[in-house]
C-alpha cells in the first residue's frame, strides 16, 4: 500500500493511477491493486492536531482492510467532526472537503 502525505500539496490516489507523469509507477503492486490512499491536509510542520485520529483511521483501514471492513471512513469522518466540533452534518461535509477528503466518498472508503 502507499499512503500519500499532503504537507507539500494534495495528490489524490487517482493521480497515481491515471496521470501520464506517473506512468512509471504503474507496475507497483500498490498501484496495480488500487491500494493508494491520501491523508487529510496536514500542515507543513506535521503538527498533530485534533484531526490526527483521521490520519490514523485512514492508515489503519488501508493497512488492515479486513479488520476495518465495517468502517466507512467517509461516514466516520462526518461523525468525528460532529462530535469533536459540535457541528451539523452539512458543516461536517464542508470540513471533510476542506481537508481534501472528498476522495473517501468517491472511493467508498
How far CA 56 is from CA of 12, 38, 40, 90, 108, in Å, comes to 17, 12, 10, 24, 18
Residues 52/59, Cβ–Cβ less than 8 Å: no
What pLDDT score does 15 carry?
86
Q: Where are the domains of the chain?
A: 2-106
pLDDT in tens, 58-85: 999 999 999 999 999 999 999 999 999 9
**Residues ≥6 apart with Cβ < 8 Å to 18:** none
Q: State the maximum Cα–Cα separation within the chain, in Å, rounded to a whole number.
A: 44
What pLDDT score does 5 carry?
77
What pLDDT score does 70 carry?
97
Which CATH number applies to 2-106: 3.40.50.1980, 3.40.50.620, 3.40.50.1220, 3.40.50.720? 3.40.50.1980
pLDDT at 52 over 60: yes
Amino acid at each position: 500500500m502507499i499512503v500519500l502525505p499532503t504537507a507539500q500539496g494534495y495528490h489524490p490516489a487517482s493521480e497515481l493511477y491515471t496521470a501520464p507523469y506517473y506512468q512509471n509507477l504503474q507496475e507497483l503492486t500498490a498501484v496495480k491493486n488500487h491500494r493508494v490512499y491520501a491523508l487529510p491536509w496536514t500542515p507543513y510542520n506535521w503538527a498533530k492536531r485534533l484531526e490526527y485520529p483521521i490520519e490514523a483511521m485512514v492508515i489503519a483501514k488501508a493497512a488492515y482492510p479486513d479488520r476495518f471492513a465495517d468502517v466507512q471512513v467517509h461516514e466516520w469522518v462526518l461523525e468525528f467532526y460532529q462530535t469533536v466540533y459540535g457541528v451539523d452534518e452539512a458543516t461536517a461535509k464542508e470540513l471533510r472537503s476542506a481537508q481534501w477528503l472528498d476522495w473517501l466518498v468517491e472511493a467508498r472508503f
